[in-house]
């Protein structure tokens, strides 16, 4: 794999991503919501310093859990499918480069534009928090930012996998939105319902929870923000009992796996797919 | 440019060798046991109706699709050694994908992935007469300009083979003439040309050999002369006249050995592909007032 070619493709992809109208829409939407939430949360309390950051960061979790996967999944799902549809992928692959260089370069480029989008929103929110609540607790906020970037990359990776085998953008987006709904709704409610009906052990419950990257992100965030994992129910209590201080690393590792595992599977599908 | 710049292969290795290639999409045979060779410096046209397999052959040569059989491009297998095979090819698609980039950005990108110098790559724009478009967005270019850009991009990195998919389809008459002239020049410098076209004039102007495709089968290979006679009377010229000029027009046709027919202001005459200018000139000479004309082709394959 030639790094110069990968860098050229990544740069082009990031440039195209930044010029895409969806980038502007998503960035504005994300920034407005996150900054609005932070401003509203802070104005509703008289807390300052660390408490301001810490509580607001924890409150942000639910908003981020909905928005970031939706944005990242839909961006990822369009990456290859849209170029396959308008034949620009054929044109790129007709050049003297390898499919792996194209696959890696496009992902890196999209990851750069996604991270930039999230950092613009977080930057605005951080500025509001710093201005309104002092600088205390910024570490927790930065940790949340880092975790959210990981969640974004994981969802981008899953969306990219969907794009790898999709012929049409609409189909890829349909699969991505269904998956998002499953992660957001069926993830929590489904596990909760199943555990009640089937009488699952906390161990099984934790394993199932770990299968949903959103739950992994939630558990890692709650743990890192030093909130009690009791709020996550039996699975959380079991996790603390079993893993103690290693729990955070376990969750970070799982989130990293959600970033890394879909990529080779997606590449295999990308190489295998042969449309007319 | 120098007299002979391009050399597709070493020794006697053909620029392109296709042996027993078949391609199925499900049960549908897009290509069925096709074999041909194109020598270095040769110019070959892929001729046939839509769905004949022209684009599929190009996709196979570029290694964009899997196939059964063997292909060698400048001695390299497009699937197993795709990068080397594609290094020898400059590809001109029918429509250059429109991306939110300027012409200069696109040239810089292609130069990078072809490991070519930016200055040399920008010179390709001058060759095509679009050097003043460098800051323009690709989407803002006209069809003709975009096609020139596609050719300029294909020429970056000095490939020895040009693969062109309907290169003149979106061009006006002048654009077509300019492009054909340039391609002719490249051919003269030793570049191997493989192109598909729906226009017999383009084929006759450029091709040394014509590969006749129909239903995924290579039905025949022809020389330009044979191709011309195959097309024979397979085209028709329709001429729209001012009132009162029909009889003079029909008499003119008889004068030059053609049999036309018509009603009112319209006459139609079966002609050879290369006879359009002759008919129109004869009518103009005899004072026939022509409002407009149309030319249509009847069939793609040998009758």
Tally the residues of chain B. 303
Cβ count near B242 (within 10 Å): 11
- Which residues does A31 contact at the CB level (< 8 Å), separation at least 6? A120, A121, A124, A125
What pLDDT, on the 0 to 100 scale, is given for residue B3? 46
Q: Which residues of B touch A88 (CB under 8 A)?
A: 97, 99
Residue of A nearest to B155 (CA): A95
Q: Which residues of B touch A16 (CB under 8 A)?
A: 99-101
What pLDDT, on the 0 to 100 scale, is given for residue B21? 92
- Residue among B275, B273, B188, B279 nearest B234 (CA): B273
What pLDDT, on the 0 to 100 scale, is given for residue B76? 92
Inform me whether the pLDDT recorded for A235 exceeds 70: no
Q: Which residues of A touch B62 (CB under 8 A)?
A: 93-94
What pLDDT, on the 0 to 100 scale, is given for residue A231? 58
Q: Residue B86: which of A20, A94, A276 has the nearest Cβ?
A: A94
Candidates B87, B113, B121: best to mutate against A (most CBs of A within 10 A) is B113
Q: Please tell me the distance from the alpha carbon of residue B181 to that of residue B186, in angstroms, as a whole number.
A: 9
Q: Which residues of B touch A94 (CB under 8 A)?
A: 62, 64, 86, 89, 91, 93
Given CB atoms, is B87 within the 8 Å cutoff of chain A? yes
Coil, strand, or helix at residue A120? helix
Higher-pLDDT residue of A201 and B118 is B118
Residue spans of chain B under pLDDT 70: 1-12, 232-234, 297-303
Q: Residue A4: which of B86, B100, B112 has the nearest Cβ?
A: B112
Given CB atoms, is B23 within the 8 Å cutoff of chain A? no
Q: Please tell me the distance from the alpha carbon of residue B52 to that of residue B120, in angstroms, as a whole number.
A: 37
What pLDDT, on the 0 to 100 scale, is given for residue A114? 93
Given CB atoms, is B112 within the 8 Å cutoff of chain A? yes
- Write the CA distances from B103 to A4, B106, B141, B276, integer angstroms: 21, 5, 9, 38
How confident is the model over A27-50, as a mean pLDDT?
74
Q: Do A95 and B113 touch (CB under 8 A)?
A: yes
Q: Do A91 and B100 touch (CB under 8 A)?
A: no
Q: Please tell me the distance from the alpha carbon of residue A39 to that of residue A36, in angstroms, as a whole number.
A: 5
Given CB atoms, is B117 within the 8 Å cutoff of chain A? no
Q: Do B25 and A276 touch (CB under 8 A)?
A: yes
Q: Which residues pair with B89 in a beta bridge?
A: B161
**B280, exposed or middle or buried, with CB in 10 Å at 0-12, 13-18, 19+?**
middle
What pLDDT, on the 0 to 100 scale, is given for residue A40? 76
Q: Please tell me the distance from the alpha carbon of residue B46 to that of residue B211, in angstroms, as a whole number.
A: 5
Smallest Cα distance from A104 to chain B, Å: 14
Coil, strand, or helix at residue B46? strand
Residue of A nearest to B81 (CA): A98
Q: Do B59 and A90 touch (CB under 8 A)?
A: yes
What pLDDT, on the 0 to 100 scale, is given for residue B252? 92
Kindly report, residue by residue over A147-165, the tens digit of the pLDDT.
999 999 999 999 999 999 9
Q: Do A5 and B91 touch (CB under 8 A)?
A: no
- Which residues does B94 contact at the CB level (< 8 Å), separation at least 6? B165, B166, B167, B169, B170
Q: Which residues of A touch B165 (CB under 8 A)?
A: none
- Write the CA distances from B281 to A189, B152, B158, B265, B271, integer angstroms: 81, 36, 42, 18, 14
How confident is the model over A59-70, as a mean pLDDT?
86
B128-156: b or e for each residue (b if 16 or more CB lie within 10 Å)? Answer: bebeebeeebbeebeebbbbbbbbbbbbb
Phi, psi of B112 (to 5 degrees): -65, -50
How confident is the model over A38-44, as a mean pLDDT?
73
Kindly report, residue by residue over B146-203, the tens digit of the pLDDT.
888 999 999 999 999 999 998 887 777 777 888 888 898 888 888 999 999 878 888 8
What pLDDT, on the 0 to 100 scale, is given for residue B25? 84
Q: Are B70 and B57 in contact (CB under 8 A)?
A: no
Token pair listed for A92:
């790129």
Tell me how far the alpha carbon of residue A96 is from its chain's centroid. 33
Cβ count near B126 (within 10 Å): 11
What pLDDT, on the 0 to 100 scale, is given for residue B233? 56
Instruction: Name the band, by pLDDT with cuts 50, 70 and 90, for residue A186.
Output: low
Q: How many inter-chain contacts (A to B, CB under 8 Å) are there?
A: 63
Q: Are B104 and B134 in contact (CB under 8 A)?
A: yes
Given CB atoms, is B113 within the 8 Å cutoff of chain A? yes
Kindly report, residue by residue over A90-134, the tens digit of the pLDDT.
999 999 999 999 999 999 999 999 999 999 998 988 888 777 765
What pLDDT, on the 0 to 100 scale, is given for residue B303? 40
Q: Are B32 and B48 in contact (CB under 8 A)?
A: no
Q: Do A91 and B97 touch (CB under 8 A)?
A: yes
Token pair listed for B300:
């793609």
Inform me whether the pLDDT recorded for A27 exceeds 70: yes
Residues 154-183 of A with CB under 8 A from B: none
Q: Do B95 and A16 touch (CB under 8 A)?
A: no
Q: Are A273 and A164 in contact (CB under 8 A)?
A: yes
- Which residues does B270 contact at the CB level (< 8 Å), separation at least 6? B233, B235, B236, B258, B259
């Amino acid at each position: 794999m030639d790094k110069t070619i990968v860098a050229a493709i990544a740069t082009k992809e990031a440039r195209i991503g930044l010029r895409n109208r969806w980038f502007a829409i998503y960035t504005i939407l994300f920034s407005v919501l996150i900054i609005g939430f932070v401003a509203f949360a802070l104005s509703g309390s008289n807390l300052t310093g660390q408490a301001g950051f810490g509580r607001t960061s924890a409150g942000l979790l639910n908003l981020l859990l909905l928005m970031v996967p939706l944005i990242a999944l839909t961006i990822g799902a369009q990456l290859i499918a849209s170029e396959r549809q308008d034949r620009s992928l054929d044109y790129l692959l007709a050049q003297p480069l390898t499919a792996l260089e194209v696959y890696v370069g496009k992902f890196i480029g999209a990851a750069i534009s996604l991270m930039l989008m999230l950092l613009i929103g977080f930057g605005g929110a951080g500025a509001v928090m710093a201005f309104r609540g002092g600088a205390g607790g910024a570490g927790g906020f930065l940790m949340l930012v880092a975790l959210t970037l990981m969640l974004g990359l994981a969802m981008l990776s899953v969306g990219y996998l969907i794009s790898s085998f999709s012929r049409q953008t609409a189909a890829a987006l349909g699969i991505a939105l269904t998956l998002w709904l499953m992660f957001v709704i069926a993830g929590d409610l489904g596990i909760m319902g199943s555990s009640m009906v089937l009488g699952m052990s906390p161990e099984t419950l934790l394993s199932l929870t770990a299968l949903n990257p959103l739950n992994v992100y939630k558990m890692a965030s709650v743990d890192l923000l030093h909130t009690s994992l009791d709020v996550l129910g039996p699975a959380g209590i079991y996790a603390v009992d079993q893993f103690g201080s290693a729990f955070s690393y376990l969750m970070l590792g799982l989130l990293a796996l959600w970033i890394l595992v879909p990529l080779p599977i997606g590449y295999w599908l990308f190489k295998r797919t042969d449309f007319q | 440019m120098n007299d002979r710049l391009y050399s597709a292969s070493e020794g006697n290795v053909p620029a392109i060798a296709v042996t027993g290639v078949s391609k199925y999409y499900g049960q549908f045979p897009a290509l069925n046991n096709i074999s041909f060779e194109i020598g270095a410096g040769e110019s070959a046209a892929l001729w046939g109706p839509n769905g004949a397999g022209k684009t599929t052959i190009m996709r196979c040569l570029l290694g964009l699709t899997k196939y059964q059989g063997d292909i060698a491009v400048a001695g390299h297998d497009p699937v197993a050694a795709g990068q080397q095979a594609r290094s020898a090819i400059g590809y001109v698609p029918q429509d250059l994908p429109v991306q939110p980039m300027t012409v200069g950005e696109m040239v810089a990108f292609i130069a990078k992935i072809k490991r070519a110098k930016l200055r040399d790559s920008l010179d390709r724009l001058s060759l095509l007469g679009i050097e003043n478009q460098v800051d323009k967005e690709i989407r803002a270019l006209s069809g003709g300009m975009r096609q020139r850009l596609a050719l300029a991009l294909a020429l970056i990195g000095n490939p020895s083979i040009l693969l062109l998919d309907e290169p003149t389809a979106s061009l006006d008459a002048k654009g077509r003439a300019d492009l054909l002239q340039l391609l002719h020049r490249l051919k003269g410098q030793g570049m191997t040309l493989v192109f598909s076209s729906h226009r017999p004039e383009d084929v006759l102007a450029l091709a040394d050999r014509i590969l006749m495709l129909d239903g995924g089968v290579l039905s025949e290979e022809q020389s330009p002369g044979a191709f011309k006679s195959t097309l024979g009377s397979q085209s028709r010229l329709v001429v729209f006249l001012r009132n009162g000029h029909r009889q003079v027009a029909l008499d003119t046709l008889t004068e030059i050995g053609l049999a036309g027919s018509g009603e009112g202001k319209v006459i139609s005459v079966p002609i050879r592909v290369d006879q359009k200018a002759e008919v129109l000139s004869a009518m103009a000479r005899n004072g026939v007032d022509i409002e407009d004309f149309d030319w249509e082709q009847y069939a793609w394959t040998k009758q």
